[in-house]
Amino acid sequence: MKQNTIWIVTTSFLVAAAGFLLPFWPLTVVGIALCAFSGRWPYAIAIGLLLDVGYGAPVGPYHALYVPFTLCALVCTAVRLLGARYMLGRSNKHL
């Protein structure tokens, strides 16, 4: 593992863990998105699964989402991959 990858995964995990310890779930989503958008999507999915196990199943109107942080990691990964494919497939005169 490269030093850059270690720093990005550590920072995103710390941000996500801070959102878990402080009951502030948007900070957790930011940590997962940071990891996914930086290109380390397997780690983002793993962090999402770990946080889903920690939080448990959601209650209320979102009870059908059994793994919301993992779904967030998958959506962020899809956005990054499709965005990179779109941006790298274009030349400067088409942008």
Residue 5 has pLDDT above 90, yes or no: no
Does the residue 53 lie in any domain? yes
Contact call for residues 34 and 17 (beta carbons, < 8 A)? no
Q: Provide the pLDDT for residue 2.
A: 82
**Span 63-76, pLDDT tens digits:** 777 888 999 999 99
Please give the average per-residue pLDDT across 23-46, as a whole number: 90
Does the residue 73 lie in any domain? yes
Enclosing domain of residue 36: 3-88
Does the residue 95 lie in any domain? no
Does the residue 63 lie in any domain? yes
Residue 88 has pLDDT above 80, yes or no: no
Does the residue 80 lie in any domain? yes
- Based on the structure, what is the number of domains in the chain? 1
Does the residue 24 lie in any domain? yes
Does the residue 93 lie in any domain? no
Please give the average per-residue pLDDT across 40-60, as a whole number: 87
Report how far apart the first and last C-alpha atoms of the chain are (Å, whole number). Answer: 35
Q: Provide the pLDDT for residue 91.
A: 58
Residue 77 has pLDDT above 80, yes or no: yes
Please give the average per-residue pLDDT across 12-28, as a whole number: 89
Does the residue 76 lie in any domain? yes
What is 35-78 written as a DSSP string?
A: HHHTT-HHHHHHHHHHHHHHH-S--GGGTT-S-HHHHHHHHHHH
